[in-house]
Chain A
Amino acid sequence: MILPWLVLIPFIGGLLCWLTENMGLKLPRYIALASMALVLVLSLWLWATGDYQLTAVGDSPSWSQEFRIGWIDRFGITIHLALDGLSLVMIMLTGFLGVLAVGCSWSEITKRVGFFHLNLMWIIGAVVGVFLAIDLFLFFFFWEVMLVPMYFLIALWGHSGSKGNSRIRAAIKFFIYTQASGLLMLLSILGVVFAHYYQTGIFTFDYQVLLDTPIGGALGMVLMLGFFIAFAVKLPVVPLHGWLPDAHAQAPTAGSVDLAGILLKTAAYGMLRFAVPLFPEQSAMFAPVAMALGLIGIYYGAVLAFSQTDIKRLVACSSISHMGFVLIAIYSGSALALQGAVVLMVAHAFSAAGLFIISGQLYERLHTRDMREMGGLFGRIGALPGFALVFVMASLGIPGTGNFIGEFLILFGAFESVPWVVVIASGGLVLAAVYSLVLMHRVYYGAPKADTALEGLRVRETLMLGLLLVLLLLTGFFPQLVLDVSAQSMTEVAQWFSVPSSLQ
């Protein structure tokens, strides 16, 4: 029974935040914090008590928790939630970043606090739903619910940008990109369901049943592409990345943290859970294209990041580059690379969240995000540059951080099947160093623009950054904490890849 509560708590908490909006600024914040903490604690409890390592190996995925009640029986739609290692990792991450998102908007958001937290909570709730739902209709429902509050978050509390990049425009761009691609996914879902209906005469949206429905040929390819494009927009995969830098630059800090930390990961999760297992044959055929797109993403993102002057846009573009590695991992079909992708997703959530929080803190102090107006901040803002250094180093994949483990497991894993892709991707590591160090260089090095000391980090800020830093190092030195949980799920995904080739 714990699964529906994981989804419901944020939704209920969000409503409570909204209702208490008129009772002071503090109350909604505490309610939001409490509900996020509850989600985190529940997921940690699931982690501590469950066994995700050695569940039975079979054809069908082995869930460690399931919840199912009927919804729209006529079309075989159920509220079917299930948990395995992969979704648990993602939910723990969501809970943690939810707490951080509340924490970093503590002083940033002062207008309509209750409604803000309603949106924030509902994003989290929907994301948890996405990670748990294994009914395709329910999955689509949560997938769409995710973006409405995000739209409001950007449109109402966002930063106004320069050169006509208003927050409204960014929000609309985000909405149209995701909405249009969501439509493609809906069509694909219906396609799969009808294919199943024609084969068996039964309407069902149940993942586990549909897994056993072979859809061959061109139709399968088209349906697979529908899923892929929907996820590719969210990941994002170049050339469908256009919404991301705008959305990030214009979103409030909490929005950026959620976007980079978990919303992008729903896409990777979707590929791992749906796109690949539902269409193993077509995915294997499509793999070279996907990996090429991953490579383009790595390089294009790196070059874009290097040429930005807005600090948040730089971090946003670096996410494009990092997600290129994840895409390569997913389509390499090697369990090692897939495990690396999981670690990279977790670590990237930490490092990107850290960088966005720091950008927010810089903005609060300097009232600019333009790096040309910064410089020489090393000695001026207490411990902030030290934290920034660690997160920047994590983003360029220095060993000792989880990002290194993630990237290198991906490269090691994929090397056996696609050595040249890996060699080219490795070149991206140099470019990652270039744009990361340029960030360091422009913001913290050089002659200070003024000699006055800026306000140092407050306890809340230090606590958040410190926690992120510890977690980054923890995933770097003890990645097994994550790897053990996701091992079973990733082995299964890798098997989906190997099955079609063994059948031939």
Chain B
Amino acid sequence: MNLLFLVTLFPLLGAVLLACFRRMPVNLAAIIGVGSMGLAALTTAWLGLAFFAADQTPYVQHLWNWVAVGDFRLGFDYRLDGLSLTMLGVITGVGFLIHLFASWYMREDLKDQTGYLYTRFFCYMNLFVFSMLVLVLGDNLMLMFLGWEGVGLCSYLLIGYYYRGEANAWAAFKAFIITRVGDVFLAIGMFLIWVQFGTLDIQTILIEAPSVLAEGALLTEVTALMLLGGAVGKSAQLPLQTWLADAMAGPTPVSALIHAATMVTAGVYLIARTHVLFELAPFTLELVGVIGMVTLLVAGFSALAQTDIKRVLAYSTMSQIGYMFLALGVQAYDAAIFHLMIHAFFKALLFLASGSVIIACHHEQNIFKMGGLAKQIPLAYACFLVGGAALAALPIVTAGFYSKDEILWLSFASGHTVLWLGALFGAFMTSVYTFRMIFVVFHGKANLHAHAPQGIAHHLPLVVLMVLSTFVGALITPPLAGVLPELEIDAGHATQIAVEVLAAIVAIVGVGIAAGLFLGRRRLMTSLVESEQGGRVWRFLHSAFGFDTLYDRLFVKPYLLVARLHRVDWIDALINLFPGLAKLANYGLSASQNGQMRGYAATFVLGATIVVAALVLG
């Protein structure tokens, strides 16, 4: 257990090495970048064994005193318990597979580029994993915040990885700023917690919360609301969701690791970690569920009208995280974390497979320019089928069925009927947009010639993730019993089966509708989109409900206006009036000293007159 620090040390060392020796050969960079992740994954496996051998007792490792000013004491402490172990497994396990795949992908991607870009990529990736691990292991809120901001930084760097593209750079910018807004809320939440609890130690806060915070009081609600603000930003939920779709500008393995499997789930982790605070703030807790539901619907609708393969997946990520939020909102914490894990499996699979498709199609990302790829790249097709089925939660065989239907069932059983209905409708849309994508990409007429990717670094991660996305993955049970309370429900077994069957039917109907609309000639859809009303709806959905335009008008434009008004420093200009006045007086007075007799005489007479007048009249 005392090897816990090693799991973060390996990626950190990898990042430092890659940063210091930028000119190393590509192969060495791959060995360091992937190898450090492999070592981290092995350490996690060892930690997992030790954790279960020790009867799942949480373990805290104190590394050094970080800050100690009076009562304000923070240690650089890691905490291993069931929740952080689960996250650790996802981050290092899925992370290792994605790194391995990336060693292939980036080599293909950077064929005409120098090796330096390759080291930079793995440097950022390793640094990301380090930050993410600190985020989930940190035992106090400040340490967690360190990881929290660190992953944001790496996300920024990796979105803007192709730095020459103006659009990529702005996408990175946008992602950083919007998540930063959330981070400020989280920071204020931390200030509130510090003032009320006098500590930032998470476990102490959880234990003392019921005695310190009054249930449902305004201050309690505000505290929880601030934490929620942070979570919403990082996890791309309404209203801070707009950055995620643009974040797809980064390399595809980045989208898989950061914008699907790990970083965007940090918000879910945060709420689960601090669930006690949310339970004391019923309004905010309810809000968590509502935000989840609204997001999953908005994202689902938006996904229906995307043409870029990665953007479809991005919106599906948003909507799946919406499910996790919904689960948190109905206090089904372990269902949320379970779905987080399963989602990491199948979404990583889908993203990696889409990366494979993109390389195979020579960097084409528009699904309507693909088509008929099933025969040309069968492995990617298989991956999409398995991953898509899991995403749509097709019954029995897929992992997604077990995780998502637990959320649906628990939201129903806990009496949140509206949330349940929304989630059910979302499940229907999920299978429609997922299979729309699969049918358009892999079926129909072949539009371009694809070359099938080769190599173990390409195949192995896909196959492993494919297996994990089937019911095999669902056999993994996260050891959450000691960390998160279980939801008590008193509904019967028969009701549960009925609800689950209903969900299964909805998913299958969705696939059927997708097949009807998008297999074959797609006549109905074409005419719908081409009609005036349909086109308007399509554009509205395509722009994801126009949030970008709204925020542009509300925040960006006004700020730019303010900035433009401050090209001139007004305060400085005002103070510069004084030297201006002095100069003016100087001009006036020196103009009067012109050496002309009549001017002097006139002034003299005028002055004398005034003095005499003053004397006489006064």
Contacts and interface: CB of A to CB of B under 8 A. Distances in A.
Interface stretch (A95-103, A139-147, A236-244, A263-271): A236-244
B283 interface: no
B48 interface: no
B169 A445 contact: yes
B572 A307 contact: no
Nearest to A338: B69
A335 B70 contact: yes
Contact of A487 (B69, B169, B180): B69
A398 interface: yes
B197 interface: no
Contacts of A413: 72
Contacts of B153: 393, 398
A47 interface: no
B67 A479 contact: yes
A50 B98 CA distance: 52
A447 B164 contact: yes
A253 to B, nearest CB: 23
Contacts of B68: 480, 483
Interface stretch (A118-126, A210-218, A433-441): A433-441
Given A408-B142, A444-B163, A304 B180 contact: no
B195 A416 contact: yes
Contacts of B64: 478
Contacts of B150: 398-400
A167 B164 CA distance: 35
B563 A445 contact: no
B169 A480 contact: no
Interface string A462-504: 0000000000000001111001000100000000000000000
Given A430-B181, A487-B69, A447 B571 contact: no
A480 B173 contact: no
Given A336-B69, A408-B142, A427 B576 contact: no
A68 to B, nearest CB: 32
A331 interface: no
Contacts of B180: 429-430, 433
Interface in B137-178: 142, 145-146, 148-150, 153, 156-157, 160, 163-164, 166, 169-170, 172-173, 176-177
Contacts of A238: 571
Interface residues on B, range: 35 or more
B149 A434 contact: no
Interface string B166-201: 100110110011001101100110111011000000
A411 B72 contact: no
A478 B166 CA distance: 38
B187 A408 contact: yes
A376 B69 contact: no
Nearest to B173: A437
A441 B174 CA distance: 12
A426 B145 CA distance: 15
Contact of A480 (B67, B172, B177, B191): B67
A437 B67 contact: no
B465 to A, nearest CB: 32
B569 A304 contact: yes
Contact of B187 (A241, A429, A483): A429
Contacts of B70: 335-336
B542 interface: no
A445 B166 CA distance: 7
Nearest to B183: A429
A412 B72 contact: yes
Nearest to B156: A437
B564 interface: yes
Interface stretch (A12-20, A107-115, A378-386): A378-386
Nearest to B146: A399
A400 B173 contact: no
21 contacts: A306-B563, A336-B72, A379-B163, A386-B19, A399-B146, A399-B148, A399-B149, A400-B150, A405-B67, A409-B72, A411-B191, A412-B72, A415-B195, A422-B191, A429-B183, A430-B184, A433-B177, A437-B173, A441-B173, A446-B166, A447-B164
Closest A-B pairs by Cβ, 9 of them = A445-B169, A242-B572, A399-B146, A415-B191, A239-B571, A307-B563, A378-B163, A433-B180, A399-B149
Interface of B: 19, 22, 64-70, 72, 76, 116-117, 142, 145-146, 148-150, 153, 156-157, 160, 163-164, 166, 169-170, 172-173, 176-177, 180-181, 183-184, 187-188, 190-192, 194-195, 559, 562-564, 566-567, 569, 571-572, 574-576
Given A336-B69, A416-B195, 13 more contacts: A239-B574, A239-B575, A242-B571, A307-B566, A339-B69, A399-B149, A399-B150, A412-B72, A427-B184, A429-B183, A430-B184, A447-B164, A480-B67
